[in-house]
Amino acid sequence: MIELIQSEFRKIVLNFINRYAKDNSLNADNVQLMLGLTGIENNYHVLVNYVKKKDVSIMDILGVKIDFLGYSKLAPPFIAKSLMRFSYKLEANAEVMCVKDYNEKGKEIINLFLYKDGDYVETIEFEDLFNEEDLVMPQ
């Protein structure tokens, strides 16, 4: 289950970055997505050249008006729990920046960077961001 979530998250973020760039006449390589928390609520920010430009919702990220797959109910608590785990570990507000990149074969990938109170801490893997202990099934 966790592998499916990691795979879908990668696709969703790549699609969002590419769609946002196209809709705003930008180069997708210059668009980033920041995942954060305000208290226990998720917040999502679009950055262009690492400068915050706009707050977006989970529905904006998914690119849908109606979420037939239910990702808008499943993803936010999962992301929040993951960020809370990092925040607890860092003893500070944790954020994760999603940045489009390319692997050695030229395939689009997403790199994840952990931030503590706005300062870079380390590069993390999807396995670090999402793990079984953070999975929360909606009621």
Burial class (CB in 10 A: 0-12, 13-18, 19+), 34: buried
The confidence band for 48, taking pLDDT boundaries of 50, 70 and 90, is very high
User: Does the pLDDT of residue 93 top 80, yes or no?
Assistant: yes
User: Does the pLDDT of residue 31 top 90, yes or no?
Assistant: yes
Q: What is the per-residue pLDDT for 79?
A: 84
Q: What is the per-residue pLDDT for 41?
A: 85
- Rounded to two decimals, what is the model's pTM? 0.87
Look over the chain and give the mean of its residue pLDDT values, rounded to a whole number: 87
Residue 46, number of CB atoms within 10 A of its CB: 22
Structure tokens at 137: 């099934």
Mean pLDDT calculated for residue range 44-68 = 90
The confidence band for 65, taking pLDDT boundaries of 50, 70 and 90, is confident
Mean pLDDT calculated for residue range 107-128 = 92
